[in-house]
């Protein structure tokens, strides 16, 4: 093999190695330093402050002349990143428990029209406190759609049109917290939210 070809092969090998190392570092940065992963086992919603939760939401922008929040409910569970070998699994410790302190909601449309206040409601951050125990699960209820969302464009424009106009979105919900060792951790889930001025209950 000629020296020029050798140099080319070495150059390609170095480039590939650097790319793989960068991808690996990016993956580590994305998952954080905690030995556990926070998983959203289930994400549901209930309209108008109700208690009947489902895997999607028909969000009424005006119910009997009033504006009401819509609730979300998430079931959170922890998973060890290194579960250990078969037959001798790793046992989580109390330091692996994770306390969630806040969450973020943003809305997206599948047609790519995602300007907040024009095409979709504004996103927001909210506070919530729940601890997911090691080896267990925890449920958390939170505001998925706020009063403010329904009183601002584009949702306010849907009022009194008899449900003839709808805005279909995906709500992207991210929970943020720390394990008891202080490592930051987060998890993201999606739920379908369709907005409209739906018929009031009889």
Give the CATH number of the domain where residue 152 resides: 2.60.40.10
Provide mean pLDDT across the span 120-149. Answer: 96
Mean of per-residue pLDDT scores for the chain: 84
Residues 60, 120, single domain; the answer is yes
Quick one: pLDDT band at residue 89, thresholds 50, 70, 90? low
Which range of residues forms the domain containing residue 18?
A: 1-31
Same structural domain, 88 and 147: yes
pLDDT classification of 48: cutoffs 50, 70, 90: confident
Domain assignment present for residue 201? The answer is: no
The CA distance from 73 to 81, in Å, is 25
Same domain for 25 and 84, yes or no, is: no
Same-domain check for residues 169 and 116: yes
- 202 is a domain residue: no
- Three-class secondary structure of residue 119 per DSSP: coil
Residue 158 DSSP code = G
The verdict on residue 75 lying in a domain is yes
CB-count burial class (<10 Å; 0-12, 13-18, 19+) for 96? buried
71 and 124 both lie in a single domain: yes
pLDDT score at 135: 82
pLDDT tens, residue by residue, 61-85: 998 889 999 999 999 999 988 777 7
pTM for the whole structure: 0.80
């Amino acid at each position: 093999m000629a020296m020029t070809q050798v140099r080319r092969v070495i150059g390609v090998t170095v480039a590939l190695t650097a790319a793989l190392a960068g991808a690996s570092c990016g993956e580590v940065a994305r998952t954080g330093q905690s030995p556990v992963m926070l998983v959203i086992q289930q994400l549901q919603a209930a309209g108008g402050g109700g208690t009947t939760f489902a895997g999607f939401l028909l969000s009424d922008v005006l119910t009997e002349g009033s504006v009401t929040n819509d609730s979300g409910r998430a079931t959170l569970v922890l998973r060890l990143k290194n579960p250990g070998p078969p037959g001798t699994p790793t046992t989580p410790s109390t330091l692996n428990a994770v306390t969630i302190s806040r969450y973020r909601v943003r809305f997206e449309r599948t047609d790519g029209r995602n300007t907040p206040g024009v095409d979709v409601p504004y996103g927001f951050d909210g506070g919530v406190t729940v601890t997911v125990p090691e080896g267990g699960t925890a449920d958390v209820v939170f505001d998925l759609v706020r009063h403010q969302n329904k009183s601002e464009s584009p949702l306010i424009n849907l009022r009194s049109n008899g449900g003839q106009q709808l805005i279909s979105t995906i709500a992207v919900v991210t929970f943020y917290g720390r394990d008891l060792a202080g490592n930051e951790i987060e998890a993201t889930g999606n739920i379908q939210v369709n907005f409209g001025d739906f018929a009031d209950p009889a």
